[in-house]
């Protein structure tokens, strides 16, 4: 379909091959005399791209054609970088790949390799915009986990030029990601909120696994202190928010869209909470069937949080909190409500944390004394010195 259009870059490649072959015997003259030919073939290539894009009826064919052209430019740059090629020729080649990217990036297949000069040029242009967004984030966004996620993504974008052979999908998404956040913080310059940024990231399909876990966590926090019916109603409301999303872009094509991931998880939570509510209603647990702890509810919740953060549990935190409230009791409360236990879990005081720290240090001392007596003696000697 694009036979004539393909000739332009083929001719350019032949011209570059001629320069490369002659570089050792006559480095100056062949490269100087070949300039007009390279300029001519570059102009023909630009015309062929425009003709293909505006005259082809098959969008898939255009995508394959533009991606093939970028792949040729990638190969040509690799060839030039391995020899003593004139810097003027290298610049012409870099300008040509930048032109193709600037005008037809949306046609590139996501796995298309890009010339390094192009990647460096695009990233360089993004740096100032990233710095601007970071400044506004620093003053407006107070949610540290969210801020950390975005700053990590900015670092990934900066490092794209050092990761071997970046693909077109990565660079195109990086540009659109920065543009989307830039527009958000500019529009909300004086009142930028965590919710605004989260909505933009979800809409833009930031299907980063850490962001998915972050969304899980903030959704769980919405359920704290609510009745079972209210929890189910809130989850259904959240699910409707994610169901309608049909994104085209993606942070990673290895993972499902963030909306689909969240909708699936919320559905699982609805099933689990509904089943737990039915089970609890039909089989009440008596005080004699629960495990008692010589701790307050606040201390027990803090210890549960430490265990969860240390990856002791295999289940998600909502299940752990529900199960703990159902089957544990404290030294003062024979029955612990799920709401009360969740509140203590998400609002651990420094005083409670200090009490648990002392308890864990006591446990460590017992282990040292019973299983590592020499370490216990050494520790005792250090205390006496």
Question: Could you read off the pLDDT of 159-175 as tens digits, one per residue?
Answer: 887 776 778 888 999 99
Please check whether residue 118 lies inside any domain of the structure: no
Question: Could you read off the pLDDT of 113-161 as tens digits, one per residue?
Answer: 998 889 888 998 888 888 888 877 766 777 888 888 888 888 888 888 7
Please check whether residue 61 lies inside any domain of the structure: yes
Q: Do 295 and 376 belong together in one domain?
A: yes
Domain count, the chain: 4
Q: Do 167 and 186 belong together in one domain?
A: yes
Is residue 1 very low, low, confident or very high in pLDDT (cuts 50, 70, 90)? Answer: very low
pLDDT of amino acid 215: 93
Q: Do 302 and 380 belong together in one domain?
A: yes
pLDDT of amino acid 29: 46
Pick from 142, 177, 204: which residue ends a domain? Answer: 204
Pick from 283, 311, 340: which residue ends a domain? Answer: 283
Is residue 306 very low, low, confident or very high in pLDDT (cuts 50, 70, 90)? Answer: very high
Pick from 162, 189, 204: which residue ends a domain? Answer: 204
Q: Do 16 and 101 belong together in one domain?
A: yes
Q: Do 127 and 147 belong together in one domain?
A: yes
Please check whether residue 115 lies inside any domain of the structure: no
Please check whether residue 116 lies inside any domain of the structure: no
Q: Stretch 74-96: mean pLDDT, rounded?
A: 79
Q: Do 242 and 328 belong together in one domain?
A: no
Question: Could you read off the pLDDT of 185-203 as tens digits, one per residue?
Answer: 777 555 557 888 888 899 8
Range of the structural domain that residue 68 is part of? 3-109
Could you give the C-alpha distances from 316 to 220, 291, 308, 313, 319, in angstroms and in order?
10, 21, 9, 8, 6
Mean per-residue pLDDT over the chain, rounded: 81
Q: Please give the Cα distance from 235 to 267 (Å, whole number).
A: 8
């Amino acid at each position: 379909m694009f036979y004539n259009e393909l000739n332009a870059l083929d001719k350019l490649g032949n011209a570059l091959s001629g320069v490369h072959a002659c570089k050792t015997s006559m480095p100056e003259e062949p490269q100087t005399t070949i300039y007009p030919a390279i300029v001519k073939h570059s102009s023909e290539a630009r015309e062929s791209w425009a003709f293909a894009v505006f005259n082809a009826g098959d969008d898939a064919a255009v995508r394959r054609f533009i991606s093939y052209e970028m792949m040729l430019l990638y190969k040509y740059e690799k060839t030039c970088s391995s020899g003593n090629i004139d810097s003027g020729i290298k610049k012409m080649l870099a300008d040509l790949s930048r032109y193709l990217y600037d005008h037809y990036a949306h046609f590139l297949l996501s796995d298309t390799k890009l010339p390094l000069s192009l990647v460096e040029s695009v990233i360089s242009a993004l740096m100032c915009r990233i710095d601007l967004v970071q400044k506004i984030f620093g003053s407006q966004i107070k949610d540290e986990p969210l801020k950390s996620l975005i700053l990590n993504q900015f670092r990934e974008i900066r490092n794209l030029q050092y990761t071997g052979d970046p693909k077109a999908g990565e660079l195109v998404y990086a540009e659109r990601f920065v543009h989307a956040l830039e527009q958000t913080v500019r529009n909300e310059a004086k009142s930028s909120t965590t919710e605004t940024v989260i909505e933009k990231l979800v809409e833009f399909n930031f299907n980063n696994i850490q962001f998915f876990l972050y969304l899980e966590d903030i959704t769980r926090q919405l359920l704290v202190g609510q009745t079972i019916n209210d929890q189910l109603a809130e989850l259904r409301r959240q699910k409707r928010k994610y169901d309608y999303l049909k994104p085209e872009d993606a942070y990673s094509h290895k993972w499902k869209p963030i909306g689909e991931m969240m909708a699936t998880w919320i559905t699982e939570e609805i099933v689990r909470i509904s089943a737990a509510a039915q089970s609890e209603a039909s089989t009440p647990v008596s005080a004699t069937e629960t495990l008692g702890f010589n701790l307050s509810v606040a201390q027990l919740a803090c210890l549960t949080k430490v265990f969860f953060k240390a990856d002791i549990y295999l289940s998600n935190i909502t299940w752990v909190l529900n199960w703990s409230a159902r089957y544990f009791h404290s030294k003062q409360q024979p029955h612990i409500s799920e709401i009360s236990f969740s509140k203590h879990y998400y609002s651990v005081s420094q005083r409670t944390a200090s009490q648990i720290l002392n308890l864990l240090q006591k446990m460590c001392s017992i282990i040292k004394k019973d299983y590592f007596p020499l370490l216990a003696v050494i520790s005792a000697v250090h205390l006496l010195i």
